[in-house]
Amino acid sequence: PGPAREAALARLELVADSFLSVSTPVQVAAPTLLARLPELQARAAGYTVKVGKFPFRALGRALTLNATDGFVKVIADAEHELILGVRMVGPNVSDLISEAVLAIEMGAQLEDLAASIHPHPTLSEALAEAAEVALERAIHLYQPRSKSK
């Protein structure tokens, strides 16, 4: 909390006004949903971004459903870790998008998603796992150490 975070939220509102909050599910091999800013548009708007992508193939519930095609991708402002957008592809993502929209609308940061309890095994764990990837502390997915560490 503070002036820097408020400025980041105000900037997000200005940029995001030209985007729909949630896109309509696209009927392709796997449903696709997008909340707020996609990665390329966030970069084009001047953000330096942190991106965390968690594949369904590493998710216990997706394995039990034999539905491992898909992922959750979280896009955040690198400086404030404010969530700018979420992309979801895969089974039942229409059941998962509400949490992403809430996180964006309330001005959540990556830590807010990562620290929220997600029951196991569920598909909703993918959102927290993607935030963990962006924070470079994923434990359920191999992640090479950043050169800055």
pTM: 0.78
- Higher pLDDT among residues 1 and 141, named by residue: 141
Give residue-wise pLDDT tens across range 78-135. 999 999 999 999 888 888 989 999 999 899 999 999 999 999 999 999 999 999 999 9
* pLDDT band, residue 11 (cuts 50/70/90): low
DSSP state of 37: -
41 sits in which H/E element:
helix 39-44
115 sits in which H/E element:
helix 110-115
pLDDT of the residue at 114:
96
Residue 14 pLDDT > 70, yes or no? no
| Measured distance CA(127)–CA(98) in Å, rounded | 11
Lowest model confidence (mean pLDDT) among 14-18, 64-68, 76-80: 14-18
Instruction: Return mean pLDDT, the chain.
Output: 82
Give residue-wise pLDDT tens across range 128-143. 999 999 999 988 887 7
36 sits in which H/E element:
strand 32-36
99 sits in which H/E element:
helix 93-105
Phi, psi of 85 (to 5 degrees): -170, 165
Residues assigned a catalytic role = 120
